[in-house]
Amino acid sequence: MKIAVLSGKGGTGKTLVSVNLAAVADKGGYFDCDVEEPNGHLFLKPSLIGEEEVTSLKPVVDMDRCDGCKVCVTACVYKALAYIPGELMIFDEICHACGLCTYLCPQQALKETKRVIGTIRRGGRGSLSVHTGKMRIGESTGVPIIKKLLKKLDDDLSIIDSPPGSGCLVLETIEHADYCLLVAEPTMFGAQNLALVHELTRVMNKPAGVLLNKVEDGLNPSELYAKEHDLKILASLPYDSYAALESSNAELLVERSEKYRTFFLELLKEVVDEATLAAQR
């Protein structure tokens, strides 16, 4: 069963939920797809088993062949190319490696070479495998890193820690997920972002449920949204300064508190049951 944890908004508790779920599961794999700032490993503290580079293709130009026609400059969707007399400039950080320029060049002056855009670290923590993707600073997209990271998904149980937002990276992250656990905080902004990721899961036909985090007395816009949109609330975590403090010290709540251990064991069971039910539908 492959469970993606996502939220739209950053800072709602994706990683808190993901690492604690993975730790109580004590099997399968944890996949940190937040490649711009992966931090799940700080909590799980895995032993390092291996590291590999992720490469992307980049165009390079042979100026002896380039005649300055600017077909590539005009065609580039991302505007990663510029031509000034005598020189074709290629901006690697803007390039999305689509290959269009190389394909179109009438002089065959462009060819693609490999370029390192990030790394993947694979490690272990008891019976749990821990996979972390990390993008090089300044790169335009981490999609190839997530693609490679998720090649090792464990069909038995995988907890996939998503990047924030609802853009390309999140889309890539949940593509292979059987179920999406949406973590939402009790603010208007939180509810708006919950709506965005909920819409994404519907577009991608992924079953989803919500975990209300940092719940306090009073109105909870995320709870209202879930109820109005027939989105199942799997559990609620009350706001707890103890949990915040332990997490800020990179401690796993399930190792520090019996109450949280019980909570996450129950949540894991609930999520797997929901995912199993959804798969049967």
Partner 1 sequence: MIIAIPAEEKSLDSVISVNFGRSPYFCIYDTEKQQSTFIDNEAAGRPGGAGVEAAQNLVNQKIDTLVAFRLGDHAAKVLSGAKIKVLKAVNLSIADNIAKVLSHSLEELNEVHPGGINKG
Residues at the interface with partner 1 (CB under 8 A): 73, 76, 78-85, 87, 89, 91, 93-94, 138, 140-141, 167-168
Give the other-Cβ count within 10 Å of 123's Cβ: 19
Q: Give whole-number Cα distances, 253 to 19, 185, 234, 240, in Å.
A: 9, 19, 19, 11
Q: Which two structure tokens, joined as six digits, stand for 86? A: 């005598």
Of 6, 2, 5, 4, nearest to 166 (Cα)? 6
Q: What 8-state DSSP symbol labels residue 251?
A: -
At closest approach, how far in Å is the CB of 174 from partner 1? 16
In three-state secondary structure terms, 228 is helix
115 vs 261, which CB is nearer to partner 1?
Answer: 115
Q: Pick the closer one to partner 1 by CB: 21 or 76.
A: 76
No. of H helices and E strands in the chain?
A: 11, 11
Shortest Å distance, C-beta 82 to partner 1 = 4
**Which residue, 53 or 93, is less far from partner 1 as judged by CB?**
93
Query: Which CB sits closer to partner 1, 7 or 220?
Result: 7
To partner 1, the closest distance from the beta carbon of 137 in angstroms equals: 11
Give 137-141 contacts, CB < 8 A, sequence gap 24+.
138/93, 139/93, 140/78, 140/93, 140/94, 140/95, 140/96, 141/96, 141/168, 141/169
Q: Are strands 110-125 and 128-135 parallel, antiparallel or unpaired?
A: antiparallel
Name the residue nearer to partner 1 (CB basis): 48 or 94: 94
- What is the Cα–Cα distance from 19 to 144, expressed in whole angstroms? 23
- Which residues make Cβ contacts (< 8 Å) with residue 249, sequence separation at least 6? none
CB of 60 to partner 1, least distance (A): 17
Q: Which is nearer to partner 1, 1 or 169 (CB)?
A: 169
Amino acid (one-letter) located at 244 = A
Tokens of 69: 């026609």
Write the CB contacts of 83 (distance below 8 Å, at least 6 apart in sequence).
68, 70, 73, 89
168 or 204, CB closer to partner 1?
168
Instruction: CB nearer to partner 1: give 168 or 278.
Output: 168
> Minimum distance from CB of 133 to partner 1 (Å)?
16
